[in-house]
Amino acid sequence: MKYIFIIFFSFCGLFFNNGLKAAEKINIKFEEMEIPLTIEQLSKLEKYKDDSTELIDWLKKNGFIRVFELSKFLEFPVFKEEGLNREILRSWIGRKILTELSKSIKVPNDNNGTEIYNTIENLLDQKKEVSTLDIIKALPSEEISLDIDNLILIISSWKNELSMQQELLSKLNQLERTKQNAFKNTKKSTKDLIKIEKKIYAPHRVKPFEVEIWKSNKTNFDKELIIFMPGLGGEINNFKWIGNELANRGWPILFIDHRGSNLESFIEVLDGKGTIPGSADFFLYRVKDLDTVLKAHENGEFGLPNNSYILMGHSLGALIALLYEGKKPTDQLGEKCNSALKDFAVTNLSKLLQCQLSEIPFPKKNNTNKASAIVGFNSFGSLVWPKENSTGIKAPTLLIGGTYDLITPLMNEQFRVFYALDNPSNRFLIIEGASHFSPIRINKSYEENNDLFKISESFIGSEPILVQDLSTKFIVEFLKNIKDQKIPNVVKNQNDLGLDFHLLDLETIKEISEN
């Protein structure tokens, strides 16, 4: 999911571009008023800030001083011929964003952003970097309108989301602290692990996809196979920490490397050797990969003593687990997406992925079994299952999320997925300060030599390794409770490893979600 940030920031650039557009004249509209500006005036707008004219004095007096800051972005190169920018523009996500953007940045007779798209594409054919001013001058229109009122609504949605996060923290801190220990002392037995790399051949793949199987030398007849799926742009190496922890406690664990939407695929896009993954890579092939793995497991191809299984995943990987076990998207998804993307998904980037599900014809399962349990990090799917108990999933589920997740926010995304599940043993582990990227462990030497991993610390949140260690404790305890048919305890306002956390049931999640 780290690449969603690349998508987001690419379109932030597009947002500013369009905000300044006016081939001959730009009409800035707000509160049923309109101010016409020429390109020259727009490009020098910041210089006018200290002048005193009737219009400028009125703008200052009525709180529109930020209008003068628009020109700061004019000459900044927001699109580059290299990298993901161009591929994103050509993708489904690009089309959706441009369509919504054209409602705020209005070019006559262009209701879906086609003129904006064509202009950017033509400029990128001519030069390596494209600025806002380049786009303004190149747009084939004499007059363009910027609807500030609509943009204010978008900005307000972001402010509302931040306010909700702050209110959530306040409510969590007010929960009455539970006295019992959050988990028992679970010792990790050091065992010799067998690590097997295996190629899986499947009809939906031209080339085989790869899996890694980690298991103990000693056969554990009472432990189910755990199947782990990384998120979009993720790789197996990011989650070896959980492989070590669980395999050393006796669970065999299989990691799926989803070709087409993994790290390697995005590196190929950046190197100009591939195209940005589409909805088939995001969903269809991932679901089929999982189905193929489970069919092989059912047939005994992994040499395990039973054919039961547990699904586990991060972000998109968690969604695939839920899609596989639950009800598939309905025709109503398209209608929901029409309203869900009006704010460009700036407060919930997962909506950009969810809305592509309407294009996917899901195959029937070849596997006859059901998951014994599901564990999801930073899950999403609120547009797919908008109502309580709507997933149809009865398997006990542990969802894990952090209060600093800016990709799939707790209140408006992850909690709603939790509502859609149906089992009294379901629990939600909230780790204060953890982010969407906290479960990802990155090899430091690789990070230093690869710009893809240079994520700002402000997006990572609290110490990711501590978050991972705490998550492991709860996963182990949760799986043991499920095996022993025990209802997991509810834990409120406790601290371990320097992190504040809460393990909550549906009733408490509803309590802290109420306004």
Token pair belonging to 253: 């664990």
pTM here is 0.78
Give the model's confidence band at 301: pLDDT under 50 very low, under 70 low, under 90 confident, else very high: very high
Confidence of residue 324 (pLDDT cuts 50, 70, 90): very high
How many other CB atoms are found less than 10 A from the CB of residue 445?
Answer: 8
Question: Are 389 and 421 within 8 A, CB to CB?
Answer: yes
The Cα 308–Cα 252 span in angstroms is 11
Q: Which of 352, 502, 333 is nearest to 418 (CA)?
A: 502
pLDDT tens digits for 197-207? Answer: 999 999 999 99
Cα–Cα distance, 219 to 426 (Å, whole number)? 29
Residue 281 is predicted with a pLDDT of: 82
Give 2's pLDDT tier (boundaries 50, 70, 90). Answer: very low
pLDDT tens readout for residues 345-364: 666 778 888 888 877 888 77
**DSSP H or E stretch at residue 309:** strand 309-314
Q: What are 459-505's pLDDT values in tens digits?
A: 566 688 999 999 999 999 999 999 999 999 999 999 999 999 999 99
Q: Are 340 and 400 in contact (CB under 8 A)?
A: no
Residue 209's pLDDT is 95
pLDDT at 51: 63
- Residue 181, φ and ψ in degrees, nearest 5: -65, 145
The more confidently predicted of residues 142 and 380 is 380
Question: Does residue 454 register a pLDDT over 60?
Answer: no
Burial class (CB in 10 A: 0-12, 13-18, 19+), 494: middle
Fold of 194-513: Rossmann fold (3.40.50)
Mean pLDDT computed over 392-411: 93
Q: How confident is the model at residue 319 (pLDDT cuts 50, 70, 90)?
A: very high
Can you tell me the mean pLDDT for 161-171? 83
Output the pLDDT for position 80: 64
Q: Is residue 436 over pLDDT 70?
A: yes
Domain spans in the chain, listed from the N-terminal domain onward: 25-151, 194-513
**Residue in the block written with tokens 């609290």:** 462
